[in-house]
């Protein structure tokens, strides 16, 4: 399953992504891993591969990323605010 993390803070995106990778130790996460996806690559959420991506909340909302995400992707708001 793919995971898409959303936060207003780039630091929080990176730290949470690294924490998830640490939790699966001694296994290694060998799928697509981009803790902070730049705005120019936001269309990559449509990829059919398993991934762990982080996107800033303002980019997520402005680019209407929710409509591009494929089924089966977990979207996690790290700031705890609803309404996405």
- Strand order from edge to edge, sheet including 73-77: 32-34, 51-56, 2-7, 73-77
- CA dist 76 and 4 (Å) reads 6
Kindly report the CATH number that applies to the domain delimited by 2-77: 3.40.50.11500
Please answer whether residues 84 and 7 qualify as being in contact, where contact means their C-beta atoms are separated by less than 8 angstroms: no
Query: In this structure, are strands 51-56 and 2-7 parallel, antiparallel, or unpaired?
Result: parallel
- CA dist 28 and 16 (Å) reads 16
Per-residue confidence (pLDDT) for residue 23, from 0 to 100: 92
Between 56 and 80, name the one with better pLDDT: 56
Indicate yes or no: pTM above 0.95: no
């Amino acid at each position: 399953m793919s995971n898409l993390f959303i936060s207003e803070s780039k630091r929080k995106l990176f730290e949470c992504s690294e924490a998830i990778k640490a939790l699966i130790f001694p296994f290694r996460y060998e799928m697509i891993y981009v803790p902070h996806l730049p705005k120019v690559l936001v269309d990559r959420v449509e990829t059919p591969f398993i991934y762990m991506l982080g996107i800033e909340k303002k980019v997520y909302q402005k680019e209407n990323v929710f409509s591009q995400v494929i089924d089966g992707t977990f979207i996690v708001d790290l700031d705890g605010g609803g309404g996405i």
